[in-house]
Chains A and B, each alone.
Chain A
Amino acid sequence: DAGVIQSPRHEVTEMGQEVTLRCKPISGHNSLFWYRQTMMRGLELLIYFNNNVPIDDSGMPEDRFSAKMPNASFSTLKIQPSEPRDSAVYFCASSFSVGGLKEQYFGPGTRLTVT
């Protein structure tokens, strides 16, 4: 199994531009999580999908952030317009969670720099 795949691995963009991060979860997993990690705030959960449906998006910072999961094998996190404070490492994780939380499998992350 290739694990969780994220693209791109690095993204540098200018303030005001649209940024789209992509994630392919592990096949057969039914839960998908988007996290953001910074030195100041640590690891933050942005949004959680179960069976492709957004269940909890309370961590999404503001309307500039949106996430979709059109099918079980693909999810996107979009930032429009981007701001310098969005600079962080964004992780996607998946799990097979039935009857409660199970272990998560994390992707390698996308390092986003907004100038």
Chain B
Amino acid sequence: AQSVTQPDIHITVSEGASLELRCNYSYGATPYLFWYVQSPGQGLQLLLKYFSGDTLVQGIKGFEAEFKRSQSSFNLRKPSVHWSDAAEYFCAVGEKGGSYIPTFGRGTSLIVHP
């Protein structure tokens, strides 16, 4: 069965600092990979996705993620964090050509210090 691990429950960064959120997946086939963000009191919003092609994908709000098949990882990065980036971040994986049901990680809570 596929699984997604987000090893960091909480991450604290200072405003303006760089950010990397980790995501590892366990999956045998070609995965579809997603990052979502959830601001307090809101639903999840898609940040970016990877289906195929260039392994470095750009998303909204200045985020990017890199798919590394050899490491089964899809880490999310941002060069300079803004206070408004404080939120919960979820990594999700789906199956290419298969089940339409994604598997979500438990989420990483990002805290931004001024």
* Partner-B contacts on A (CB < 8 A): 4, 31, 33, 42-43, 45, 48, 50, 55-56, 91, 93, 95, 97, 99-109
Contacts and interface: CB of A to CB of B under 8 A. Distances in A.
9 contacts: A42-B104, A101-B94, A101-B99, A101-B100, A101-B101, A103-B46, A103-B49, A107-B43, A109-B42
Contacts of A43: 90, 104, 107
B45 A106 contact: yes
Is the contact region of chain A dominated by helix, strand, or loop, or is it mixed? strand
Interface in B75-105: 90, 94-102, 104
A108 B41 CA distance: 8
- Most interface-central of A31, A101, A104, A105 (chain B CB within 10 A): A101
Interface of B: 32, 34, 36, 42-46, 49, 90, 94-102, 104, 106-107
A99 B102 CA distance: 14
B95 to A, nearest CB: 6
Query: Which are the 6 A-B pairs with shortest beta-carbon distances?
Result: A101-B94, A106-B43, A106-B44, A97-B100, A100-B97, A103-B46
